[in-house]
Every structure is written in structure tokens, then in C-alpha cells.
Amino acid sequence: MELYSDVISPPCQNVLLVAKKLGITLNVKKSDIHDPADIAALTKLNPQHTIPTLVDDGHVIWESYAIALYLVEKYDQDGVLYPKDPKVRSVVNQRLFFDIGTLYKNVLAGIDEMIADKRLSEELERKLQQALDLTEKFVTERPFIAADHLTLADIFVLGSITTLEWIRYDLERYPGIRSWVKKVTAEFPDYDEFHKEIRKESKKYIATHCPDLEY
Ligand SMILES: N[C@@H](CCC(=O)N[C@@H](CS)C(=O)NCC(=O)O)C(=O)O
């Protein structure tokens, strides 16, 4: 399976971590979202030309959440990352939809505001705080964010929390999130290496494309 990806992209990071946890080796094809040749190649597969894009024996899927669901349906027969019990699964789904519609959405809006104005508006500060207050509640209710073990929801929400590094958001008031991050990352033996790679590539990207951001 080929994954068109760039490690600086949070949705790509999430799919890469899902694959790691499932023990799947993906043939990663680095795709630069600013390179016309890469964009043209990607557009042939995915008219939305977004990364991540997965190609499995000619079958093309994009949208990170859809890719993750495809991978668990195909490779997570025991329902570890995506539990089979409808009630447990519904909590995983709620956290995933919360991530795409609220948490990650506001993190991205925060990056846009920092690039444009070098500060967060009061309104966005409030929205981000609300989203993080909820995240703090979710991660302290159970051993992991949606269950008593790691699920897809932990991986996706971790991607959003890690992306707060782009705006140097201080998580001081969220001890639950900070200890949950340690617990989730400890589930991946090579997470430190992975995070170093994210930092290195993000630094390069920011220096070129958004030099006003302090990273
Ligand atoms: N909702 C999508 C978002 C994908 C997305 O927007 N990826 C960005 C990189 S983080 C991208 O490919 N941008 C290039 C473009 O939109 O042309 C997902 O979860 O996969």
C-alpha cells in the first residue's frame, strides 16, 4: 500500500501512527503540497489533492479518518483500535467527530490566526479553551480517551494536541492532557524518533512558508 504523505501534516501523522500500531508497513511517498509536480501526481489519484492519500492495489482513499477506518476494518480483526462493542465504539466515534469538528478545527484556525496576526483573537482563545477543557474531561474520565485501552480516538486527538506546538500553546492548565500524552506516546516504542522527525520537518516548513511563526 502506498501512502502519499508528509510527516508535517497532522492527518498524515495520525495515519502513520495507526499503521505502526497495526504493524502494517506502508510504502510512503513523500508529497509536497507546494510542489506543482507532486500536486499534479496527487490530483490524478485524488481530485481534492489532499494528503494523506492511500492507494491499496489501485483502490484510492483519502481523508485521514476514512483511511484509518479502512485500515482497522482490514487489519484490526480483534477490534483493538476500533472496538466492536457498539457502546465502546460509539465513544470512540464521538471523540473522533469531536476532533474533526471542534478540536482540530480550532487548532488549525489558531495557526491561521497566528500566521495572519501573530496572536489569537479572544474568540478563538475561548473556543480553543472550551475544546481543551472538554479534552481534559475526556482523558480523565477513563484510562484512555475513549476506552480502557488505546483506540483510534487517542491517536487522532494526540495529533491535534501535538499540532498546538505550531502556536506554542501552553498546556500548563491541563495536567490530565499532559499525563495522557505521556501514556499514549508510550504505546509507540519509536514515538520519540517520530516526534523528532515531525519537529525537524515542521521547522523547515515553517522557515520557508510561514517564517513569522515561532516554532
Ligand atoms: N480532512 C482531511 C484534511 C487533509 C488536508 O487538508 N491535508 C492538507 C495537509 S495537512 C493538504 O493536503 N493540503 C493540500 C491541499 O489541500 O491542496 C484529512 O483528514 O485527511
pLDDT value, residue 2: 98
Domain CATH for 116:
1.20.1050.10
What cell was used for 22? 497495526
Distance 3 CA to ligand 1 centre (A): 13
* Domain contains 81: no
Distance 160 CA to ligand 1 centre (A): 14
Q: Cell 515531525 appears where?
A: 198
pLDDT at 212 over 90: no
Q: How many domains is the chain partitioned into structurally?
A: 2
pLDDT in tens, 167-208: 999 999 999 999 999 999 999 999 999 999 999 999 999 999
The DSSP element (H or E) to which 196 belongs, if any, is helix 191-209
* Domain contains 198: yes
| Residues belonging to the active site | 9
pLDDT in tens, 132-142: 999 999 999 99
Answer whether 82's CB lies under 8 Å from 138's CB. no
**Closest-lying ligand 1 atom to the alpha carbon of residue 49:** 17
Q: Cell 511517498 appears where?
A: 29
- Same domain for 99 and 56? no
Which of 159, 14, 158, 151 is CA-nearest to residue 93? 151
Domain CATH for 9:
3.40.30.10
**φ/ψ (deg, to 5) at 62:** -130, 180
Pocket (CB within 6 angstroms of ligand 1): 9, 11, 33, 49-52, 63-65
CA-nearest residue, atom 14 of ligand 1? 50
How long is the chain? 215
Long-range contacts of 159-162 (CB under 8 A, 24+ apart): 159/10, 159/11, 159/13, 159/14, 159/17, 159/104, 160/10, 160/99, 160/103, 160/104, 160/107, 161/135, 162/10, 162/13, 162/195, 162/198
Residue from 7, 38, 51, 202 to probe ligand 1 pocket by mutation (most atoms less than 8 Å from CB): 51
pLDDT in tens, 34-74: 999 999 999 999 999 999 999 999 999 999 999 999 999 99
Residue 80 CA to residue 196 CA, distance in Å, equals 27
pLDDT value, residue 137: 98
Distance 51 CA to ligand 1 centre (A): 5
The four Cα atoms 9, 32, 198, 16 give a dihedral, to 10 degrees, of 60
- Same domain for 120 and 203? yes
